[in-house]
Amino acid sequence: MNIVFDLDGTLIDSAPDIQSAASVVLSQCGKQGLTLAETRGFIGEGAGVFVSRMMAARDIEETQERHTKLNKEFVAQYEIAVDKAQFYPGVFDVLMALKAAGHRLGLCTNKPEAPARAVIRHMGLEQMFDAVLAGGMIASRKPEPEMLLQTIEYLGGGPALFVGDSEVDAEAAKRAGVMFALYSEGYRKNPVSEMHYDWVFNDFDALQGIVSEAAVGKVSPATK
C-alpha cells in the first residue's frame, strides 16, 4: 500500500529550527524574533506564506521586493537550521516497520525542497522514502490536490493513505479523494471535531492498525 506523510508537525517537530531561522532574518531587520507559539501558528502553507505572516506580525511593510528578499534570506537560513528538529514519539520505529512490511512510503510537504532534503538527511530518512515531493518541485502546493496525487503517482499509483497534522493536509486529502489519518499532536489550528479525517490518532503506535484498516478499505466510524 502507498502511505504518504506530511513532514513538519507530522513526523518531526521542526518549529524550533524554523523559529531560529526566522529570528536571524528578523534580527537583521531590527525586529524581535518570533515566539515558538507564533512559529507553530505560521507553519503549513509554504515558506512564502510563512514569511508574509512573519512580516505582518512584526509590522514589516510587505512590498514584493521586500518579501522576495526576506523569503530568500529565510530559505537560506532554513536550509541549515536542522539541529533542533525532533521526531515525534514512535515515528522512526513505525516508519521502519511499515517499510519492512513492504509498504511504499512517500513524503509530501510544502516545506521548500532544499530545507526538506536537508532535514531528511539530518534525521537519517534518506532511504526511507520511495518518493519525495516538496514545495517548489511542482507549480502547486497543498491544499491543492496535485502534490498529493503526484506523490502517489511517483509511488506507482493505487490505493493510498495520507498521514498529516493540519487543516492544509486534511483539505488536500479531501480534494484528492485520498484516505486521511490525522495526527492530532501537530500544528493544527482548529479543534479536531471541525476537521476532515477518516482516522484520528495521537500516538504513532496506533498507525499500523490504521494502515491495516485502510488496506481493506475499512474507514473509521469517526469519519468527518
Looking at residue 194, what DSSP letter applies? G
Question: CATH no. for residue 76?
Answer: 1.10.150.240
In degrees and rounded to multiples of 5, residue 128 shows phi and psi of: -80, -35
222 within domain boundaries: no
Per-residue pLDDT reduced to its tens digit, 118-175: 999 999 999 999 999 999 999 999 999 999 999 999 999 999 999 999 999 999 999 9
Q: Is the domain of 63 the same as that of 149?
A: no
Alpha helices in the chain (DSSP H): 15-28, 36-42, 47-57, 64-80, 91-100, 113-122, 146-154, 167-176, 207-215
Per-residue pLDDT reduced to its tens digit, 169-192: 999 999 999 999 999 999 999 999
Considering 46, 61, 80, which residue would you say is the last residue of a domain? 80
Q: Is the domain of 141 the same as that of 57?
A: no
Handedness of CA 84, 62, 166, 193 (dihedral sign): positive
Question: CATH no. for residue 178?
Answer: 3.40.50.1000
224 within domain boundaries: no
CB atoms within 10 A of CB 97: 14
69 within domain boundaries: yes
pTM (global) more than 0.95: no
Q: Is the domain of 65 the same as that of 146?
A: no
Considering 64, 80, 96, which residue would you say is the last residue of a domain? 80
76 within domain boundaries: yes
Q: Is the domain of 73 the same as that of 96?
A: no
Q: Is the domain of 47 the same as that of 105?
A: no
The number of domains in the chain is: 2
Cell of 132: 519525495
Place of cell 473509521: 220
State the catalytic residue, choosing from 6, 17, 165, 198.
6
pLDDT of res. 78: 80
Q: Is the domain of 195 the same as that of 127?
A: yes
The domain of 56 spans 15-80
DSSP states along 76-135: HHHHH--TT-EEPTTHHHHHHHHHHTT-EEEEEEEEEHHHHHHHHHHTT-TTT-SEEEEE
Q: Is the domain of 115 the same as that of 203?
A: yes
Considering 63, 80, 97, which residue would you say is the last residue of a domain? 80
Q: Is 6 a catalytic residue?
A: yes
| Confidence at 47, pLDDT banded by 50, 70, 90 | confident
Q: Is the domain of 211 the same as that of 117?
A: yes
